Amino acid sequence: MGTSALKIVESKILNTSDYNRIWSYSDFTEVPFGSAAKALSILCQKKIIKRVQKGFYFRSKQTILGETIPDDLKLVFMKLDKKGAFYCVSGLSGFNNIGLTTQISNVTTIACDCPMINTDKIKFIQRKKPHSGTAIERIVLDALIDIDKISDTTETKTLLKIKELISMNKISINDLGISALSETARVRALVGALGQELNLDNEVLAKLKASLNPSTSYFLKVDSVLKYAQEWNIKSRNNVKIFKRK
């Protein structure tokens, strides 16, 4: 490795005021890969930067609160970008971001389409990339999966908010319908009922209907906000008759 490559890498790092930045080999395309790797190794030895994980480096800064540390979430996003994966923050934080709940969690949930290992602060859920490729569509699909488990809201409020997002063109009912074909039966039923009300493409609507077992019921308290809930076998438990033996 020539001294010029080392100088280029060192100068680029030192001239960047963003101490929160995590560096990787891909940040130094102006020098050969091997030279960038060697330069980063030398800078670690000189204690200018620290190796966070294999292929990732961080320049810390001393503050009155102590030495700065790398952002775990930013590191995860860089790893997922390197894999070319789809990902987004979902779970309670994602639901909070789109207005479904006021609650947040100490653990960040990331939906992604590749396997990842959980940490103390980050939980991964493996999900398919939605048809539109957007984070908001994936979050809405996850909200439908967890519709009866979301803190500080109700199933009815969740669906009303999703309807609002569709009416505001934040998400497309047709994209949601196509994505739902790869989701659980309950999600397919919910999107089908929504779609029948909100003019989902007839072909997609028919596919959703055909994908469901007509003898299976889905018990949720949403019939007051889903006009066609009954046609999709979505029923409130309050309406289920329980027969007792005499």
Q: Which amino acid is at 147?
A: I
Class of 3-70 in CATH: mainly alpha
Q: What is the pLDDT of residues 90-149, one digit of tens each?
A: 999 999 999 999 999 999 999 999 999 999 999 999 999 999 999 999 999 999 999 999
Whether pLDDT at 245 is above 60: no
pTM: 0.86
pLDDT at 239: 53
Q: Between residues 243 and 161, which one has the greater pLDDT?
A: 161
Please list the residue range(s) of the chain that carry CATH number 1.10.10. 3-70
Q: Which pair of structure tokens corresponds to residue 201?
A: 């493409």
* Residue closest to 47 by CA, chosen among 58, 36, 55, 38: 58
Q: What is the DSSP string of 151-166?
A: TTS-HHHHHHHHHHHH
